[in-house]
Structure 1
């Protein structure tokens, strides 16, 4: 067989809720990003039978980490990504 046969053949163990976070952080186009984030998160939680609160908490943690990576690399992306933890925080009970 020629070429690639797997995308990521490594065994990875972790919470399924965490896998959604890169999508949730991308393409926030709404004038109300909190509502858009809430809609996406609730939709995924319902359709994939995942824990809504866990998705929000992982999103909060990962978005802080993402902001710090931007700062560490002297990139301006931290300005936009730093709003994300606040958005997740507004949705966490």
Structure 2
């Protein structure tokens, strides 16, 4: 991986969508995450797949469909306040 990209399981863990990297990897391997990169959407099924700033992720979380844009990759799993800077939630008609 380069500084411009990050493994998706690591990113989900750093952004606090999963409590551990192994749980993040399981979520990815189940095919529960859709990734839009450069306008092309695909279902992600490998934890080693990389995400980039500007990518859009769609997945179910807590029984709700979550759509977000990757705003940063992070360097560590920090506090929740730091994790929230890694993404922006798409606003919908909720």
> Do these two structures clear the TM 0.5 threshold for a shared fold by scoring above it?
no
Of Structure 1 and Structure 2, the greater strand share is in 2
* TM-score using structure 2 length: 0.26
Of Structure 1 and Structure 2, the greater helix share is in 1
* TM-score using structure 1 length: 0.26
